[in-house]
Chains A and B, each alone.
Chain A
């Protein structure tokens, strides 16, 4: 369990929990920290968060499973979130999703065999003025054309490999 976060990170989080008057408020911060270090939040991750926060695993689990940007299943090195809300839909998000499925040879919800990308739909990213938009890891891409996707994936892949 200790390998999910370094001893130092755990000590830091525990110190913050001790100092804050409402430690439960930190549950997403702790889950984010575990996810940032491991890519996703495993059962052990939920247990670790519970220990750090002084909560039961169930109290953490009901938070972890609620939010769509906390991953409770393994994901690839980078998660591709394709916006399927109204503005992106009106400007071709369905074609973007189809092209990505072809390029990656996976369906939405799946991860590529090399473990590089997970493909997920997402609701509005707040980039309606740049529709259609998608997010890969923490990078937002706006005004995306299906023809650009191959180059975007290459760039994202190269970033991981470098």
Chain B
């Protein structure tokens, strides 16, 4: 069984979170010391860019490139916002990270603020993670008392403060511009881009937005160097490790850290314990609810950004959700689309009205009332919704529909032909 020396989960213990003492004992805040004492902000940014780290929140945009658009050297108020609105079904990695050691994220944020010339950071945390919010607030107090946060950190002259913002539900808040509105106390509809948040973000000021897991990688890149970090991946182009969620029809659902590029089948077998109840693998979402399905023919695919794009899907958040051979893929897709339709913020028509239409079509098909015309209409929604909505929510919502129509056409047609769900007895 292949595994890796854990970076992000190095302090994960069954007995509960590790705080400052335990975190420092295990190498914690060495990355911050190295950055503040021996590296320039531009030097840190270069290292992150060279590491090949890509955003772990779902979109997978290279972090160093994203940072290169940020006006790091400009004077004036700038913000870092950590996106902790982890709400995509199948995704529970950031919660595991925060439950392991909240200082890990703090160190990543402080180094990132140093690199980007930022003095104020917000951690936007979803309502369900109240326990994590409490842990973070305790860690912030500890760090401030130890001189790791606040004014003149470690005598470097660099100052930084971190605030925890508790949200109150709604998936749309994970969309970065909706998140900014939410944080400002405005209704969380997405904003139009441009201007991008790096230029005009929170309170109208330049804002860097990164996911929890992304930021937690930063101390390791600083400590170990870009070349070492990149070499951790199993693929040529990949970089680092990834927190994978393993859920759905598995014997042992769990969240594990493994190298980027771990083959899908290996991860499912070695960490997920294989498919439950001695059933066989039918399909999976490779990276959360918005990523098109993979099937049994894809079990050898490397869980990395490019290889997954080549088979028509995405690494997303790394939340693998497995379906056994008794699962009706029309029913699974309907469940996913009901989530997205309910979580639409209602701002734009393709999303607000299009997703309920897709649900209606899937309901008809699942009940055995669907016709060929319904199937055609479902197919058409891919081009009617994709690329026409205000933000990426609707595009993500159509991911499972795209996967259904590409890989399970026969199963959908069986529903029409038989006038019932072929998987129900």
Q: List 19 A-B contacts (CB under 8 A).
A: A22-B184, A24-B186, A25-B165, A63-B185, A67-B168, A67-B169, A85-B339, A86-B321, A86-B335, A86-B336, A89-B335, A90-B249, A91-B248, A123-B339, A124-B91, A127-B95, A128-B90, A129-B247, A129-B254
Residues of B close to A91: CB separation below 8 A: 248-249
Selected from A25, A126, A129, the residue in CB contact (under 8 A) with B128 is: A126
Question: At the interface, yes or no: A125 with Cβ under 8 Å from chain B?
Answer: yes
Residues of B close to A29: CB separation below 8 A: 166
Among the stretches B42-50, B81-89, B150-158, the one at the interface with A is: B81-89
Q: Is there contact, CB below 8 Å, between A128 and B168?
A: no
- Known A67-B170, A90-B249, A90-B321; contact A24-B336, beta-carbon cutoff 8 A: no
Q: Is there contact, CB below 8 Å, between B335 and A28?
A: no
Residues of B close to A62: CB separation below 8 A: 187
Q: Is there contact, CB below 8 Å, between A69 and B169?
A: yes
Q: How long is the Cα–Cα vector from A127 to B247 in the complex, in angstroms?
A: 10
Residues of B close to A25: CB separation below 8 A: 165, 183-185
Q: Is there contact, CB below 8 Å, between A128 and B319?
A: yes
Question: At the interface, yes or no: B148 with Cβ under 8 Å from chain A?
Answer: no
- Known A31-B168, A86-B332, A90-B327; contact A66-B126, beta-carbon cutoff 8 A: no
Question: At the interface, yes or no: A145 with Cβ under 8 Å from chain B?
Answer: no
Query: How many residues on B have C-beta within 8 angstroms of the other chain's C-beta atoms?
Result: 51
Inter-chain CB contacts under 8 Å: number: 129
Selected from B95, B127, B253, the residue in CB contact (under 8 A) with A69 is: B127
How close is A63's CB to chain B, nearest CB, in angstroms? 6
Encode B326-338 as 1/0 by CB contact (under 8 A) with A: 0100001001101
Residues of B close to A129: CB separation below 8 A: 92, 96, 245-247, 253-255
Q: How long is the Cα–Cα vector from A89 to B400 in the complex, in angstroms?
A: 16
Selected from B88, B127, B248, the residue in CB contact (under 8 A) with A90 is: B248
Q: How long is the Cα–Cα vector from A9 to B335 in the complex, in angstroms?
A: 42
- Known A86-B335, A128-B245; contact A24-B168, beta-carbon cutoff 8 A: no
Closest to A125 in B: B128
Selected from A24, A27, A66, A87, the residue in CB contact (under 8 A) with B321 is: A87
Q: How long is the Cα–Cα vector from A27 to B186 in the complex, in angstroms?
A: 9
